[in-house]
Structure 1
């Protein structure tokens, strides 16, 4: 087998998971980190990729994207932090707007090709989008567009477990299917310790109206051991 064929075989063996959300601040990074830790402690080689990040900060001479850093640490610090998140911007807005604030643009080609360095080194590759599935990553380019270009890749929808999540989750799944993306599952995330009356019934209510399964619920102080039951079904 030549080098090209070896890389192709490795690429086919890696399981790709795209972590998206119904909105921003729904727990995507938290769930992604739990999954990375679970797979790593299960003996898997875990890759993590955050194509672009805004709301970054400086630390010495380095620009830090906190979500990317958290994923990198959870995965056991594979490769380099720069390869985890190649494009970083400072303003706390969507990446195209954050880039414009610096008189820059998000490189759409790099969003897609930045994953290449992970292909032959990962049993499972976790990709975290920015915002919701239909949030923009670059001008005229949504998370959903990236999903299509990174395929084959399974999409996991993270939804904040709170009042209003039924609509947000159903709308996201229906919209995804309308453009040919069928999520592999939904994870409900308790984003705060203060839960409302809907939290215990959201899973069953979503199940009444959607054939996308709710795989599990992640508590506010969850650990990777507690996600093992549903996380193992992703591979």
Structure 2
């Protein structure tokens, strides 16, 4: 049996991967697991007295039980708030997949469950020959896709699911995140996704609810991660 770990992919940037990741961490913690979050690569980091810090990575760090060191959560912290391959190029940094994998293995040696958040969407480049989705494949992690519920989400979700599966990753399911409280016909869009997506819906996150409170909405996602580890 493998550890109940998972990769969180998104249909785009700004659709709530971090919110979903932290919420899932709390849902996994309710099963009595020691859980850590990891964002291997983050662009858009602020310079602080303690070094570079990324808001998403800080949220993942804070949700850890017990809380890990920041460098373990976010080993590659890039300054510019642009695509990571451009931010890395600007700094002369080459993102090393094997180094990131070693960092992931270190976390799994200390925690029973690790939630790994991607950067941007599945096909975001990390370098000339490295895409964000390769993290999930190298870490040998099943994937949950976060669908930001806003205009255009049907196309983004269906294309992302197709790409994830075409790349040979195991897609466990998807989670809807109501990022646009004014989206027209949101329930009809969710029903369309439930019919057309190749994997089940594992929960839906309401707009404006804290991760701790919202954990109950994605209990099915936590159960799917645990079941996948036992398979």
TM-score, with length taken from structure 2: 0.89
Distance, in Å, in 2 between the alignment partners of 1:168 and 1:37 is 27
CA contact (8 A) 2:147 2:157 kept: yes
Alignment match, 1:211 = 198
Alignment match, 2:138 = 149
CA contact (8 A) 2:179 2:207 kept: yes
Query: Runs of 5+ in structure 1 lacking a partner?
Result: 1-11
Within the alignment, does 1:168 sit opposite 2:156 as a pair?
yes
Alignment match, 2:93 = 104
Distance, in Å, in 2 between the alignment partners of 1:64 and 1:190 is 27
Root-mean-square deviation (CA, aligned residues, Å) is: 1.7
Matches within 5 A, 1:18-97: 18-97=7-86
CA contact (8 A) 1:27 1:160 kept: yes
1:156-204 per-residue CA deviation (whole Å, 9 max, x = no partner) reads 0001111211111111111222222231001110113x32113111221
Query: Runs of 5+ in structure 2 lacking a partner?
Result: 227-231
Alignment match, 1:188 = 176
1:93-142 per-residue CA deviation (whole Å, 9 max, x = no partner) reads 11121012123222232222221211222221100010111112233111
Alignment match, 2:147 = 159
Alignment match, 1:7 = none
CA contact (8 A) 2:41 2:119 kept: yes
1:60-108 per-residue CA deviation (whole Å, 9 max, x = no partner) reads 1411011111011112353311111111111011112101212322223
**Aligned positions, number:** 222
CA contact (8 A) 1:14 1:122 kept: no
Distance, in Å, in 2 between the alignment partners of 1:14 and 1:206 is 29
CA contact (8 A) 1:24 1:130 kept: yes
CA contact (8 A) 2:34 2:65 kept: no
Say which one has the larger Rg.
Answer: 1
TM-score, with length taken from structure 1: 0.88
CA contact (8 A) 2:203 2:218 kept: no
Distance, in Å, in 1 between the alignment partners of 2:215 and 2:194 is 25
Deviation at 1:43, TM superposition (A): 1.7
Distance, in Å, in 1 between the alignment partners of 2:63 and 2:150 is 26
